[in-house]
Amino acid sequence: MTTLTDDTLPVTPRAMRDEMIVFVVMALLLATVPFTGVYPFFVMQALCFALLACAFNLLIGYGGLLSFGHAMFLGTAGYCSAHALKVWALPPELGILVGIAAAFALSLITGYISIRRQGIYFSMITLALSQLLYFIYLQAPFTHGEDGIQGIPQGHMFGIFDLSKPTVLYYVVLAGFLAGFLLIFRIINSPFGEVLKAIRENEPRAISLGYRTDQYKFLAFVLSGTLAGFAGALKVFVAQNASLTDVHWSMSGEVVLMTLVGGLGTIFGPVVGAFVIIAMQQYLAGFGQWVTVIQGAIFVVCVLTFRRGVVGEIAHYFRRSL
Q: Which of 189, 201, 230 is nearest to 107 (CA)?
A: 230
- What's the farthest any 2 CA atoms get from each other in the chain? 56
Residue pLDDT tens, the chain, 322 long: 334 444 445 556 777 778 888 999 999 999 999 988 888 889 999 999 999 999 999 999 998 899 999 999 999 999 999 999 999 999 999 999 999 999 999 999 999 999 988 889 999 999 999 999 999 999 999 998 888 999 899 989 998 889 999 999 999 999 999 999 999 999 999 999 999 999 998 889 999 988 999 999 999 999 999 999 999 999 999 999 999 999 998 899 899 989 988 888 899 999 999 999 898 888 777 777 777 788 788 778 877 887 788 888 888 777 777 7
Task: Tell me the C-alpha to C-alpha distance, in Å, between residue 176 and each of 230, 264, 270, 295.
Answer: 8, 23, 16, 28
Task: Note the pLDDT of residue 270.
Answer: 94
pLDDT at 86: 93
- State if pTM tops 0.95: no
- What whole-number distance in Å separates Cα of residue 112 and Cα of residue 23? 34
Q: Torsions phi, psi of 156, nearest 5?
A: -120, 120
